[in-house]
Amino acid sequence: MKKILVSFVLISFFQTVSAQEWQTDFETAKQISSEENHPIILVFQGSDWCAPCIKLDREIWSSEEFKAYSKEHFVMLQ
């Protein structure tokens, strides 16, 4: 059961990441930030073991309102 839960959390996390166009390379994020004049939001998290990180992902990063706002105002880096 624990493996299933961990798998579900990871799958949900990676779907969220891909839907928001998260950057994974710092140099690329800096370039985009410079070109678009948007600040970088750098996120460090433990996706499958950090309860506050999971909550943040579910309640903030996954919300449609944040996705729409961040796409226009930030460069998301993980």
- How is the chain split into domains, by residue range? 2-77
Q: What does the pLDDT read at residue 16?
A: 46
Q: What does the pLDDT read at residue 11?
A: 54
pTM attached to this predicted model: 0.66
Structure tokens belonging to residue 18:
């891909």
- For residue 76, the one-letter residue type is M
pLDDT average, residue stretch 21-42? 96
**DSSP conformational letter for 39:** -
DSSP, collapsed to helix, strand or coil, labels residue 59 as helix
Q: Is the pLDDT of residue 12 over 80?
A: no
Cβ–Cβ under 8 Å, residues 33 and 75: yes
